[in-house]
Structure 1
Amino acid sequence: MQRLLDVDNLSVEFALRQGTLKAVRNVSFTLDKGERLGLVGESGAGKSVTGFSIINLISKPGYISGGNIMFEGQDLAQMPFEKMRGIRGNRISMIFQDPMMTLNPVLTVGTQMIETVLAHKKVSRKEAEKIALDKLRKVYIPSPEKRLAQYPHEFSGGMRQRIVIAISLLTDPALIIADEPTTALDVTIQAEIMDLLLELCKSEDMGLILITHDLAVVSEVTQKIAVMYAGRVVETGETATVVSKPGHPYTRGLIAALPQSCGKGLRLTQIPGVMPSIINMPSGCPFHPRCELCTDVCKLEDPVLTENKFGTMVACHHADKA
Structure 2
Amino acid sequence: MSLLSVRDLTVKFASRDGAMAALNGISFDLARGERLGIVGESGAGKSITGFALMNLLSKPGFIDGGEILFEGEDVTQMSPKQVRDMRGNRMAMIFQDPMVTLNPVLTIGQQMVETLRAHRNLSFEEARQIALVKLKEVYIPSPDERLDQYPHELSGGMRQRIIIAMALLLDPKLIIADEPTTALDVTIQADIMELLLEMCQSNQVGLILITHDLGVVSQVTERTMVMYAGRIIETGATRSIINDPQHPYTQGLINALPQQTPPGQRLKQIPGAMPTLSAMPTGCPFHTRCAHVTDECKRTAPEVSQFGDTAVACHEVHRLQRDLPKEVAQ
After TM superposition, the score normalised by the length of structure 2 is: 0.96
Equivalent-residue separation in structure 1 for 2:105 and 2:79 (angstroms): 32
Post-superposition offset of 1:170:
0.6
Q: Find the partner of 1:313 among 311, 316, 324.
A: 311
Equivalent-residue separation in structure 1 for 2:283 and 2:30 (angstroms): 30
Post-superposition offset of 1:270:
0.3
Equivalent-residue separation in structure 2 for 1:100 and 1:20 (angstroms): 32
Map of 1:234 onto structure 2 = 233
1:32-51 map, 5 Å = 32-51=31-50
Q: Please list every run of at least 4 consecutive aligned residues from structure 1 whose deviation after the TM superposition is greater than 4 angstroms.
A: none
Equivalent-residue separation in structure 1 for 2:258 and 2:158 (angstroms): 28
Equivalent-residue separation in structure 2 for 1:265 and 1:190 (angstroms): 26
Map of 1:146 onto structure 2 = 145
Equivalent-residue separation in structure 1 for 2:198 and 2:304 (angstroms): 33
1:1-322 map, 5 Å = 3-308=2-307, 310-320=308-318, 321=320, 322=322
Q: Deviations over 1:197-227 (max 9, x none)?
A: 1000100100000000111111110011110
Equivalent-residue separation in structure 2 for 1:46 and 1:61 (angstroms): 15
Amino acid at match of 2:32: K
SS of the residue 1:319 aligns to: coil
Post-superposition offset of 1:295:
1.1
Q: Deviations over 1:217-251 (max 9, x none)?
A: 11110011110000010001111111111110000
SS of the residue 1:159 aligns to: helix
Equivalent-residue separation in structure 1 for 2:249 and 2:84 (angstroms): 37
Calculate percent identity across the aligned residue pairs.
Answer: 61
Q: Deviations over 1:258-281 (max 9, x none)?
A: 111211222111000000001110
Q: Which moved more, 1:179-188 or 1:263-272?
A: 263-272
Equivalent-residue separation in structure 2 for 1:3 and 1:261 (angstroms): 37
Equivalent-residue separation in structure 2 for 1:207 and 1:167 (angstroms): 16
Post-superposition offset of 1:123:
1.1
Q: Deviations over 1:257-313 (max 9, x none)?
A: 1111211222111000000001110111100010011111111111011101x1211
Q: Superposition RMSD on alpha carbons, in Å?
A: 0.8
Unpaired segments ≥5 residues, structure 2: 323-330
Equivalent-residue separation in structure 2 for 1:118 and 1:289 (angstroms): 52
What number of residue pairs does the alignment pair up? 320
Post-superposition offset of 1:82:
1.2
Equivalent-residue separation in structure 2 for 1:122 and 1:72 (angstroms): 23
SS of the residue 1:289 aligns to: coil
